[in-house]
Amino acid sequence: MSKAAPARGKFGRRLVLALPYAWLVLFFLAPFALVLKVSLSQSALGQPPYEPVFDSLDPADIWAKLSALSLSAYAGLIDDSLYLQSYLDSLAIAAAATFLTLLIAYPLALAIARSPARWRPLLLMAAIAPFWTSSLIRVYAWIMILKDEGLINHALIALGLIKEPLHIFATNWAVLIGIVYSYLPFMMLPLYAAIENQDKALIEAAADLGASASGVFWRITFPLSLPGVIAGALMVFIPAVGEFVIPDLLGGSDTLMIGTTLWNDFFANRDWPAAAAAAVALLALLVVPLVFYERLQMRAGGDRP
């Protein structure tokens, strides 16, 4: 082989890597640096509505700007009990929703994994298909179902089970239902993979040795599926903490989630530094689960961390 080929190969490889790399640095990494910067500036009237920092490379100027760096947006976060409350509520709602999603997704994943092999791909596809439809529409469907004059209340009253409509819509319960429904596939897939991969001989051996069905489940199936449980939980929990659409459409006025708070700061109050500070704080809240998640992905991809 000529010498030119490897050289060309090397160039080709560089190009393959450079394109997505450059794109991500430009449109993913740089914007995040900017969020940090804006969160450290003071809100101002105008366009853009914040006092710029670090816009010049003149050292004297940078020094002047450094001393003008403002933590006021962050101080605002701490002072405002609304923010603190929405952080705590976001965490609590996301954690509860993750647990509920696990409770619902696990039996389904288990049932699919234990179905005859030729049915499994079809069942799995059917379980994921709703995820391909618009998430906005799926949340909207639940408004129709849960409203005071919605389908559930209508059906329950018609059946004579209740006299007054249940107030589920515009409460945190509705938000929980919405998150569970929207994120079910994210939990299902890793669970299914973790259960399906198990060696069936272990279950047979345990049953032969006299373990009951629940004994087999709690001592073999469930422990072996833990990596799937963790992966699924992270894939639900992380985005759920910052969820906007679901609390906004299904939640009530007392539902405080950080995604909606950030949104309102930005769109309604036009306080960009406050929104940016909220974003940074949300990110800080998610750093630990995000690092876990990244490591899991790397390992799943066959890398050693």
Which residues in the 236-275 window bind other proteins by CB under 8 A? 238-239, 241-245, 249, 259, 262-263, 266-267, 272, 275
Q: Which is nearer to other proteins, 47 or 67 (CB)?
A: 47
Look up residue 295 and give its amino acid: R
Q: Which residues pair with 43 in a beta bridge?
A: 50
Residues 36-65 that bind other proteins (CB under 8 A): 38, 48
Among residues 43, 172, 190, 206, the one that binds other proteins under rule CB under 8 A: 190
Give the Cα separation of 157 and 153 in Å (integer).
6
Which span (21-29, 61-69, 75-83, 218-226) binds other proteins, by CB under 8 A?
21-29
Residues 6+ away with beta carbon under 8 Å from 250: 139, 142, 143, 146, 169, 170, 174, 175, 177, 178
Q: Which is nearer to other proteins, 59 or 301 (CB)?
A: 301
Backbone angles phi, psi at 207, to 5 degrees: -65, -40
Which span (11-19, 60-68, 69-77, 218-226) binds other proteins, by CB under 8 A?
11-19
- Residue 160 binds to other proteins (criterion: CB under 8 A): no
Residues 75-114 that bind other proteins (CB under 8 A): 104, 107-108, 110-112, 114
Residues 114-133 that bind other proteins (CB under 8 A): 114-116, 121, 123-130, 132-133
Residue 52 Cβ, how far from other proteins at the closest point, in Å? 8
Angle, vertex CA 147, rays to CA 87 and CA 91, nearest 5: 15
Among residues 151, 162, 205, 226, the one that binds other proteins under rule CB under 8 A: 151
Say how many C-beta atoms besides its own lie within 10 A of residue 283's C-beta: 14
How many residues lie near other proteins (CB under 8 A)?
A: 102
Among residues 93, 175, 235, 274, the one that binds other proteins under rule CB under 8 A: 235
Contact 165, 157 (CB under 8 A): yes
For residue 250, which of 164, 157, 153, 182 has the smallest C-alpha distance?
182
- Residue 187 binds to other proteins (criterion: CB under 8 A): no
Q: Which is nearer to other proteins, 24 or 69 (CB)?
A: 24
Among residues 81, 149, 160, 210, the one that binds other proteins under rule CB under 8 A: 149
Residues 166-185 that bind other proteins (CB under 8 A): 181, 184
Backbone angles phi, psi at 149, to 5 degrees: -105, 25
The three-class DSSP label of residue 119 is coil
In a 13 Å sphere around the CA of 63, the CA atoms on its Cβ side amount to 2
Among residues 62, 96, 145, 211, the one that binds other proteins under rule CB under 8 A: 145
Residue 166 Cβ, how far from other proteins at the closest point, in Å? 14
- Residue 230 binds to other proteins (criterion: CB under 8 A): no
Please provide the DSSP assignment of 20-68 as one string: HHHHHIIIIIHHHHHHHHHHTS-B-SSSSSB---S----HHHHHHHHHH
Q: How far is CA 292 from CA 6, 106, 114, 191, in A?
A: 38, 21, 29, 17
- Residue 205 binds to other proteins (criterion: CB under 8 A): no
Residue 75 Cβ, how far from other proteins at the closest point, in Å? 20
Q: Which is nearer to other proteins, 172 or 275 (CB)?
A: 275
> What tokens does 188 get?
């299902």
Contact 174, 168 (CB under 8 A): yes
